[in-house]
């Protein structure tokens, strides 16, 4: 089992850097929209809070599981490395292919367009101008991350801390300045039987788990983390716990300002809550919060994801030139540039939302496989040194695997057409894999 790290990447990321990368990637635009969907599904303020807690715990279980893999294989690429080692290089490649072709690039495009749309609140923008601004934001962040990992980490630290502070202020203002419409979050709820609740609860959990997505980002840059055996597990756990606290606090704030009916019917729940607190500054506050949140989240994606393509290229399973790094800045500049070009192209074509819908469920299939890798590698390499062992093993990874598979199966049932197309996109990586595999041999 190869546990060596790449000698070409500079280990500069601290615990603070690593934690902020994950927090910044997890908190995007979802928390400003998804709470309304949850309220619509559940019609119970107690269940609304409960499902955010459950989703956070499940995500934490995933982080606790993957942390063991990161500690024994602290190399650039994250899941690409884990899936290749535990299953086969084919599975690692299919994950990397999906990440490059759609998952990461479509996510970057979607977040950039959200950023531009909210920037338009202060500077009215045409449809074409929104695309130009979105692309410009990707270009700026790509350039920043070309000039050394510390610069990208510094930008991430600033934006992550600011977005945590902004959400905390919004939540606190909802208690201080409101009349407490639903001050008791256990009131104003509809009673359901267990059979009636199972369907809506499952759909709500799917939406919540997507909102927590991003907790694994730091593993992609594991080759650049100082003392990764200790820092990786700690950053994975700390970041997930912080985001759970932020999400629960902000939802309590929403429920304190809006009734469940208002919340479930809201198109922009955060804006409606802020406007109800203060009509003069509420909408502006939320626009600023979304701008900060999306810009910071995209920096996290642009910062970390190219390390996947870099790792694939270094093993000869992708374009060789994507494995090059800058001798001066020690960053994978070719991978960063190609990612920016592909994301920008998706913005121009307007296909990013549909592509993201096709493949996003597949990321949880790869998550489940990564958690399963903990079992496989413990059996295959029982004597290898494990600086961190998954807390609660085997219960923790099993719970996470079950919830991830539930999300995948639920998506296949509820949206079979898009799911099948998504699987088709992933399977298009098969001929590409055998082509590069043949070249390696």
Over residues 364-400, the pLDDT tens digits come to 889 999 999 999 999 999 888 888 899 999 999 999 9
Q: What global pTM score does this model have? A: 0.85
The beta strands (E) that lie in 276-376 are given as: none
Most confident of 206-210, 237-241, 326-330, 361-365: 237-241
Are 24 and 156 contacting, i.e. CB atoms less than 8 angstroms apart?
yes
Q: Indicate whether 190 pLDDT > 80.
A: no
Residues 176-194 have a mean pLDDT of 52
pLDDT range class, residue 192, cuts 50, 70, 90: low
Question: Where does residue 386 rank: exposed (0-12), middle (13-18), buried (19+ CB within 10 A)?
Answer: middle
Please report whether residue 8 resides in a domain. no
In the prediction, which pLDDT does 187 show?
A: 42
Please report whether residue 9 resides in a domain. no
Please report whether residue 2 resides in a domain. no
Assign residue 43 a region: left if phi > 0, alpha if psi is -120 to 50, beta otherwise?
Answer: left
Helix/strand/coil percent split, the chain, to 5: 75, 0, 25
Angle at 297 between CA 293 and CA 301, to 5 degrees: 170
Please report whether residue 181 resides in a domain. yes
Residues 343-353 have a mean pLDDT of 82
Q: Output the six-digit token pair for 6.
A: 């790449």
Q: Output the six-digit token pair for 213.
A: 């997505």
Q: How far apart are CA 103 and CA 220, in angstroms?
A: 14
115-173 pLDDT, tens digit each:
888 888 788 888 899 999 999 999 999 999 998 888 888 888 898 898 888 888 888 88
| Mean pLDDT rounded to a whole number for the chain | 85
User: Nearest-CA neighbor of 63 among 234, 193, 267?
Assistant: 234
In the prediction, which pLDDT does 179 show?
A: 57
Q: Output the six-digit token pair for 181.
A: 């419409």
Residues 2-14 have a mean pLDDT of 65
Assign residue 392 a region: left if phi > 0, alpha if psi is -120 to 50, beta otherwise?
Answer: left
Q: How far apart are CA 148 and CA 167, in angstroms?
A: 29
Q: Indicate whether 418 pLDDT > 50.
A: yes
The values of phi and psi at residue 345, to 5°, are: -65, -40
pLDDT range class, residue 75, cuts 50, 70, 90: confident
Q: Indicate whether 85 pLDDT > 90.
A: yes
Q: How far apart are CA 44 and CA 191, in angstroms?
A: 8
Are 256 and 102 contacting, i.e. CB atoms less than 8 angstroms apart?
no
pLDDT range class, residue 9, cuts 50, 70, 90: confident
Are 59 and 240 contacting, i.e. CB atoms less than 8 angstroms apart?
yes
Q: Please give the radius of gyration of the chain, using alpha carbons only, rounded to the nearest integer.
A: 21
Are 48 and 250 contacting, i.e. CB atoms less than 8 angstroms apart?
no
In the prediction, which pLDDT does 2 show?
A: 52
Q: How far apart are CA 82 and CA 73, in angstroms?
A: 8
pLDDT range class, residue 356, cuts 50, 70, 90: low
Q: How far apart are CA 390 and CA 397, in angstroms?
A: 8
Q: Output the six-digit token pair for 367.
A: 């998550």
251-290 pLDDT, tens digit each:
998 888 888 888 888 777 777 787 777 766 667 777 888 8
Please report whether residue 355 resides in a domain. yes
Q: Indicate whether 330 pLDDT > 60.
A: yes
In the prediction, which pLDDT does 90 show?
A: 94
The values of phi and psi at residue 392, to 5°, are: 80, 10
pLDDT range class, residue 181, cuts 50, 70, 90: very low
In the prediction, which pLDDT does 41 show?
A: 84
In the prediction, which pLDDT does 186 show?
A: 44
Structural domain count, the chain: 1
The domain of 360 spans: 15-440
Q: Indicate whether 4 pLDDT > 50.
A: no
Q: How far apart are CA 170 and CA 181, in angstroms?
A: 16
Q: Output the six-digit token pair for 175.
A: 């208690």
Q: Output the six-digit token pair for 415.
A: 């949206």
User: Nearest-CA neighbor of 212 among 394, 410, 38?
Assistant: 38
Please report whether residue 5 resides in a domain. no
Residues 395-421 have a mean pLDDT of 85
CATH (domain of 153): 1.20.1740.10
């Amino acid at each position: 089992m190869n546990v060596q790290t790449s000698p070409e990447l500079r280990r500069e990321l601290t615990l603070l850097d690593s934690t902020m990368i994950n927090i910044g990637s997890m908190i995007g635009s979802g928390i400003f929209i998804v709470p309304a969907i949850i309220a619509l599904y559940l019609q119970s303020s107690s269940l609304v809070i409960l499902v955010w807690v459950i989703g956070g715990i499940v995500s934490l279980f995933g982080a606790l599981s993957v942390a063991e893999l990161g500690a024994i294989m602290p190399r650039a690429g994250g899941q690409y490395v884990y899936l290749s080692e535990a299953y086969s290089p084919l599975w690692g490649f299919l994950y990397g292919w999906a990440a490059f072709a759609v998952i990461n690039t479509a996510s970057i495009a979607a977040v950039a367009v959200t950023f531009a749309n909210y920037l338009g609140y202060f500077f009215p923008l045409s449809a074409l101008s929104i695309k130009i601004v979105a692309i410009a934001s990707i270009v700026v962040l790509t350039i920043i991350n070309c000039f050394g990992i510390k610069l990208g980490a510094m930008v991430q630290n600033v934006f992550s801390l600011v977005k945590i502070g902004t959400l905390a202020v919004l939540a606190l203002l909802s208690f201080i300045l409101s009349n407490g419409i639903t001050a008791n979050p256990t009131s104003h709820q509809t009673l359901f039987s267990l059979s009636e609740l199972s369907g809506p609860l499952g759909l709500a959990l799917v939406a919540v788990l997507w909102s927590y997505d991003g907790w694994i980002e730091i593993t992609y840059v594991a080759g650049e983390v100082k003392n990764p055996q200790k820092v990786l597990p700690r950053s994975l756990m700390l970041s997930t716990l912080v985001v759970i606290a932020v999400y629960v606090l902000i939802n309590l704030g929403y429920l304190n300002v809006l009734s469940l009916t208002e919340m479930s019917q809201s198109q922009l729940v955060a804006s409606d809550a802020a406007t109800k607190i203060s009509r003069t500054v509420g909408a502006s506050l939320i626009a600023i919060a979304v701008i900060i949140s999306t810009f910071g989240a995209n920096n996290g994606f642009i910062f970390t994801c190219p390390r996947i393509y870099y790792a694939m290229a270094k093993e000869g399973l992708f374009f060789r030139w994507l494995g090059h790094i800058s001798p001066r800045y020690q960053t994978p500049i070719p991978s960063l540039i190609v990612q920016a070009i592909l994301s920008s192209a998706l913005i121009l074509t307007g296909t990013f939302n549909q592509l993201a819908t096709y493949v996003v469920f597949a990321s949880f299939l790869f998550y489940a496989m990564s958690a399963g890798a903990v079992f496989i590698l413990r059996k295959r390499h029982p004597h290898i040194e494990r600086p961190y062992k998954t807390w609660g093993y085997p219960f923790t990874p099993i719970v996470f695997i079950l919830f991830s598979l539930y999300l995948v199966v639920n998506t296949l049932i509820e949206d079979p057409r898009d799911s099948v197309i998504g699987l088709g996109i992933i399977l298009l990586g098969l001929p590409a894999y055998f082509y590069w595999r043949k070249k390696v041999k």
